[in-house]
């Protein structure tokens, strides 16, 4: 089995190393927190989901959000999306997605809240 090793200081106090699925989820969270086009040298990295936060939830908008979540997750070859659901919430957008880790048979359901007040994406 492949082991992924990375470095993280967010909410860490002594141990700054993340491995495997914890690292993959942190990398996905980082991608959700970066607006597409704002990372120097990598114009395709990040997400445009922030542009959809206050839009009307029409079928076309839901399809656009689903496509954008699929595109954002596809930037990481270690992940695959099984399903995506989007819901408007108080000051943002709640996305529930089921991801499959490519390096294993494990799947996990994640809830990501895009909060417009803090301009950050966080796990619920």
CATH code for the domain of 67 = 3.10.450.40
Domain span including residue 115: 5-123
| Chain length of the chain | 124
CA 102/CA 85 separation, integer angstroms: 21
- In the prediction, which pLDDT does 11 show? 63
| pTM of the predicted structure, to 2 decimals | 0.83
Q: How far apart are the first and last CA of the chain?
A: 29
User: For the segment 53-108, what is each residue's pLDDT rounded down to a tens digit?
Assistant: 778 888 898 899 899 999 999 998 989 999 999 888 888 889 999 999 887 888 89
The tokens describing 105, both together, are 């048979």
List alpha helices for 8-122, DSSP H.
Answer: 20-33, 59-74
* Angstrom distance (rounded) from CA 98 to CA 90: 23
Residue located via tokens 């089995």? 1
Q: How many domains does the chain have?
A: 1
To the nearest whole number, what is the mean pLDDT of the chain? 84
Half-sphere exposure of 111 (CA within 13 A, CB side): 6
């Amino acid at each position: 089995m492949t082991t992924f090793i990375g470095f993280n200081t967010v909410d860490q106090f002594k141990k700054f190393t993340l491995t495997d699925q914890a690292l993959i989820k942190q990398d996905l969270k980082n991608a959700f927190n970066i607006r597409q086009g704002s990372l120097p040298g990598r114009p395709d990295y990040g997400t445009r989901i922030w542009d959809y936060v206050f839009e009307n939830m029409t079928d076309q908008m839901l399809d656009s959000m689903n496509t954008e979540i699929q595109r954002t997750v596809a930037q990481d070859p270690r992940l695959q999306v099984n399903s995506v659901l989007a819901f408007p919430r108080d000051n943002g957008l709640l996305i529930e997605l089921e991801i499959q880790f490519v390096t294993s048979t494990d799947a996990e359901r994640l809830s990501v809240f895009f909060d417009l007040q803090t301009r950050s994406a966080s796990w619920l």
